[in-house]
């Protein structure tokens, strides 16, 4: 499981999301990523010691800010190799689906305007 910590006012968070989508196409199979909006879920951010967004967390590994392509690739390879070593199979279709679902739910809860 990967946690992507973001904020409503973070332009770099969108950059990192796009990088993750590109890596999804490259690798085809990644862990499930959950987007955690620190503006809404500040208690989760505090529990993980998140001070800067965007931040990626997977187990004991953490990347703060927007990583280089090489660093992101290395991060993903370490995570996926660890999951394979533990015998886990992660379906590619799950990648960022939860993040989009969470984001859509947050928009609906926070705004009187509904997105279509």
Q: Given phi > 0 = left and psi -120 to 50 = alpha, else beta, which region is 101?
A: alpha
Write the DSSP symbol of residue 93: G
Give yes or no for a contact between 39 and 102, defined as CB atoms under 8 angstroms apart. no
State the average pLDDT for the chain: 76
What pLDDT, on a 0 to 100 scale, did the predictor assign at position 105?
A: 52
- Which pLDDT band holds residue 1 (cuts at 50, 70, 90)? confident
Q: Give the up-direction half-sphere exposure of residue 83: CA atoms within 13 A in the CB hemisphere.
A: 18
pLDDT value at 57 more than 70:
yes
CATH number at residue 31: 3.40.30.10
4 φ/ψ angles, rounded to the nearest 5 degrees:
-110, 110
Count of domains forming the chain: 1
pLDDT value at 81 more than 50:
yes
Do you know the residue count of the chain? 116
- pTM exceeds 0.85 for this model: no
**Domain membership flag for residue 115:** no
Provide the domain limits for residue 104: 2-110
Give yes or no for a contact between 12 and 65, defined as CB atoms under 8 angstroms apart. yes
pLDDT per position as a tens digit, 39-50 = 999 999 999 999
**Domain membership flag for residue 116:** no
């Amino acid at each position: 499981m990967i946690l992507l910590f973001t904020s409503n006012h973070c332009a770099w968070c969108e950059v990192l999301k796009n990088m993750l989508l590109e890596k999804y196409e490259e690798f085809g199979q990644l862990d499930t990523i959950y987007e955690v909006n620190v503006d809404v879920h500040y208690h989760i951010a505090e529990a993980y010691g998140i001070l800067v967004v965007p931040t990626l967390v997977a187990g004991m590994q953490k990347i703060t800010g927007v990583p280089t392509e090489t660093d992101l690739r290395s991060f993903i390879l370490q995570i996926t190799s660890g999951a394979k070593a533990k015998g886990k199979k992660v379906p590619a279709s799950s990648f960022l689906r939860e993040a989009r679902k969470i984001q859509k739910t947050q928009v609906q809860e926070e705004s009187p305007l509904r997105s279509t």
